[in-house]
Amino acid sequence: MSRPDRDADTLHDEGAQAERTALSWQRTGLSLLGAGIVVLHAGDELDTPLRLVPALLLLATGALVTGVGAPVRYRETLRDLRSGRSPVRMPLLLALSLVVTVSALAAVGIVVVHAV
């Protein structure tokens, strides 16, 4: 069996930067899922169908990030590093912070609405 192209299987990932970033994404995805499950199972004040809005938002985003986002980001980052492109993806980060902000504010809204 002929040896595959050396460049293709040489990992251009000094210091495992791409891998550590992917792991960071994985952890974030798991945190999203965890927070979503907590919101989903909240009783008392938040025991209203409205809580499904932040819960499903967090769970869906968590599932996407863990299942698709992290591995794709990893491969994409390696490709970028190999070709000298910037690995920065600003819209992705902005979207993620918006998901968390919106979910937190939605939960506040639900608590306040139910207290009044």
Partner 1 sequence: MRLVRRAARGDGTSWRPDGQAPLHQVGSEPDYRFSLANERTFLAWLRTALALLAGGVAVVSLVPDIGTPAIRRVIGVALLLLAGMVAGASYRRWAASERALRLERPLPRSSLPLLVASGVTAVIAVLLVLVALGT
Instruction: Give the Cα separation of 115 and 71 in Å (integer).
Output: 42
CA distance 39 to 55: 5
| Closer CB to partner 1, 2 or 87, in the complex | 87
Nearer to partner 1, 5 or 40 (CB): 40
- Which of 63/80 has CB closer to partner 1? 80
Closest CA to 103 of 9, 6, 22, 34: 34
Interatomic CA distance for residues 86 and 66, integer angstroms: 23
Residue of 61, 59, 60, 39 lying closest to 50 (CA atoms)? 39
Using the minimum distance from each CB to partner 1, give the nearer residue, 4 or 84: 84
Can you give the binding site for partner 1, defined by CB under 8 A? 14-15, 17-18, 20-21, 24-25, 27-28, 31-32, 34-35, 38-39, 41-47, 58, 77, 80-81, 86-88, 90, 93-94, 96-97, 100-101, 103-105, 107-108, 111-112, 115
- Minimal distance, residue 115 CB to partner 1, in Å: 5
